[in-house]
Structure 1
């Protein structure tokens, strides 16, 4: 049965409809649209992310891991908005070779695993045939108290710039994958996990409402994403490289090869939260870090001006070859 090819409606009934069982407004995926009811006083938050074979993943990454990363990068966007996740819609363009019980079973098992982990359900979408490669798109839905969604464009002069977790682990995972860079076996396993299974910082993001002025998640690289906040807010971001939090594995790798530091700062796929807050919020942010159990570090500030500056040891400016990932500039192939 592993190689059996499935038709569109059989595929939906067998694999996707069960993922909608906990979504009352999905109507068992038997309608053309879904209905999402929100409690009074809440705003709906909507975000969309696409992943394309050869650009964001390779088939050899495994169907379940592809599915889980697809959900997690969208949930990370909701986390950066301070939203409580509700569910998602999935559009999948599937090559004929993958329209089988074996691949779809693994893919939907990955979706089901993370639906349970994050308390969400499938609300619908579309399933079509692709002539060559796999293309995936998720639109995720969340909710916030009315008027409280965190935005990129609200940073203020004098704000501190913070980031959660650690930066650069996923970038080094991509280095091992694409450029065959070798680290210790334990480090490579850690980097690979951080690349393929990022952790959306949902609890932290929801508690940032009222503390942070501006926020986003780090997907295209720390430097570039700090630039997005700065540009949207009409300010300049100043980053102190020695304050950027690195995991032990990444710190050791950079200590052994200084050329890795620009990759760490610009590589992307971290899916940590990058946010600004006034200096007087420092103690509250430290308390939130302890309460949620997630490290957070102050890495710089926002000032009058434009662009991003990155300083190294002794305050000397770092010359980075690029700011971060951009589409139409390269693929995984």
Structure 2
């Protein structure tokens, strides 16, 4: 006996219209309307998420929704842009259920309110394979003030927000490794949450515009993303590995299995801000980060050269040649 599916129009009206923003026009039209503030540029970013690549089939639908929006808002934040809204394309596999979609929409609505990034429109289609979704996020930045990744300068301090490595370790926990026995229940919950629920640092956007010389978000691993940033600016970096911020849970994991430090530095799924800041701006930047409740750590300096960044570990120096995550 076949299951009667709701129509595309009824899906939109039931699940997505209630969480849409003003510019979405009730999702009753073929396009949304967005008017940027006078004197502002639009900043646009897009990320696609595929089941089995960016999330696992048993991840909660609300978590998938939050990640889909969060990774895009993280990109906007790194450019110094304040979110304006987003478009969603959702390709549902044959086995989708209305309860799954209700939970997905609820998680999406919660994330959009938290990030001040309303739904403006999108498209819902049937997939012939895995669940696939794509978010295009739009932000605004005062004209000419978007923070680029290519403009780091020799002598700048290298800073990161939050902690590094939690997301990658949270993913590894899913396979029940031996080192997990050294972690408490709360430690495991912390790492799992950091993998499932990115925390974009959108509240830091204004401070980045005012103080940073270059910025990007850490999505594909600190070592690889730092190498991208330095290479694009024609410079290199010296990082004090002991200054890279690790959460208490990540530190316990590394103590139990020291090779996990490499996983923390290269594994990705951090969605923290990596930026370079001129020395004269550093104190003001720290104060602004503290004011908006975002932890900030200086981990090294931009140096002249064209080689891979050096991670200094006591008496040793390490260059990570694995790069960052690549799809192809």
Give me the TM-score of the superposition, normalised by structure 1: 0.93
Alignment of 1:50-69 (within 5 A): 50-69=48-67
Distance 1:319 1:278, change over 3 A: closer
Q: State yes or no: 1:160 paired with 2:157.
A: yes
Partners in 1 of 2:235 and 2:316 — Cα distance? 21
CA contact (8 A) 2:207 2:285 kept: no
* Shift of residue 185, structure 1, vs aligned partner: 1.9
Partners in 2 of 1:223 and 1:157 — Cα distance? 18
Partners in 1 of 2:136 and 2:262 — Cα distance? 32
Equivalent in the alignment of 2:258: 258
Q: Deviations over 1:214-261 (max 9, x none)?
A: 001100000111011112111112222111011111112212221111
CA contact (8 A) 1:168 1:265 kept: yes
Q: Give ranges in structure 1 of 5+ residues lacking alignment.
A: 329-333
Alignment of 1:126-205 (within 5 A): 126-178=123-175, 180-181=177-178, 182=180, 183-205=183-205
Partners in 1 of 2:81 and 2:154 — Cα distance? 25
Question: How many correspondences in the alignment?
Answer: 323
Equivalent in the alignment of 1:249: 249
Equivalent in the alignment of 2:223: 223
CA contact (8 A) 2:165 2:267 kept: yes
Q: Give ranges in structure 2 of 5+ residues lacking alignment.
A: none
Alignment of 1:60-139 (within 5 A): 60-98=58-96, 100-139=97-136
Distance 1:82 1:319, change over 3 A: closer
Partners in 1 of 2:320 and 2:256 — Cα distance? 19
Give SS of 2:216's match.
Answer: strand
Equivalent in the alignment of 2:288: 288
Q: Deviations over 1:82-102 (max 9, x none)?
A: 11111100001111211x311
Distance 1:302 1:321, change over 3 A: closer
4+ residue runs over 6 A deviation: none
RMSD: 1.6
Equivalent in the alignment of 1:46: 44
Give me the TM-score of the superposition, normalised by structure 2: 0.94
